[in-house]
Amino acid sequence: MPIRKSSKKKKSKRQIKSPGFTGWAIIFLSVFIVVFLVSMLVPQSDVTVTQIQPELIRLQLKNGCGVKGAAGEMTKAFMESSTGVIFDIIDKGNAEAFNFEKTLVIDRKGDPGGTDAYSNAAITVADILNTKPEQLLLQKLSDNLLDIDVTVIIGADYQPVLASLSGKEE
């Protein structure tokens, strides 16, 4: 009979190996799949982000009173106004005549809905200048190459109008 040697089992320490590239790829994909499935099960909530931007009004200023520098003063007052509206002065100069008693606000685009109503830009400018309803006119430009929203013809009453624009009511 053969003699058996008593073999002592050696307790070997298992070495911990890093998972390697394939192991890490499996772990990553498993986590990705779990996150994807959880996101599909969780009800989505609607989030609406609104950002209020100030209104931009493109103006044309015409001096119709004959006072030298009236259009420049109005330009400065529009640019420095604290009305929450941004004014872009597209054109400034003299009107064809200097006999305007009252300042006129002329709507150059009209209501975007196609009606013969005033645009919001024209109504806003008329309100800011504190003009009367009869001083607001609608004359759409067929060739509006400068994309003018409103033309303001400065009349002889420009000092009170300027004061209302500057916030210094007389």
- Assess contact for 124 and 81: CB atoms under 8 A: no
Cα Rg, the chain, nearest whole Å: 37
Give the model's confidence band at 80: pLDDT under 50 very low, under 70 low, under 90 confident, else very high.
Answer: confident
| Dihedral pair phi/psi, residue 59, rounded to 5° | -110, 150
Q: Is residue 83 part of a domain?
A: yes
pLDDT single digits (tens) 129-162: 988 889 999 988 888 888 899 999 999 998 988 8
Q: Is residue 102 part of a domain?
A: yes
Q: Is residue 159 part of a domain?
A: yes
- Assess contact for 60 and 151: CB atoms under 8 A: yes
Number of domains observed in the structure of the chain: 1
Write out the residue range of the structural domain in which residue 132 sits.
55-166
pLDDT single digits (tens) 5-39: 555 555 556 666 666 888 888 999 999 999 988 88
- Assess contact for 62 and 150: CB atoms under 8 A: no
Q: Is residue 80 part of a domain?
A: yes
- 167 contacts: CB under 8 Å, gap ≥ 6: 81, 82
- How many other C-beta atoms are found inside a 10 Å radius of the C-beta of residue 81? 15
Exposed/middle/buried for 156, CB within 10 Å: 0-12, 13-18, 19+? middle
Q: Is 48's pLDDT higher than 80? A: no
Residue 100 has a pLDDT of: 93
Q: Is residue 22 part of a domain?
A: no
- Assess contact for 110 and 138: CB atoms under 8 A: yes
Q: Is residue 162 part of a domain?
A: yes
Residue 50 has a pLDDT of: 63
Q: Is residue 93 part of a domain?
A: yes
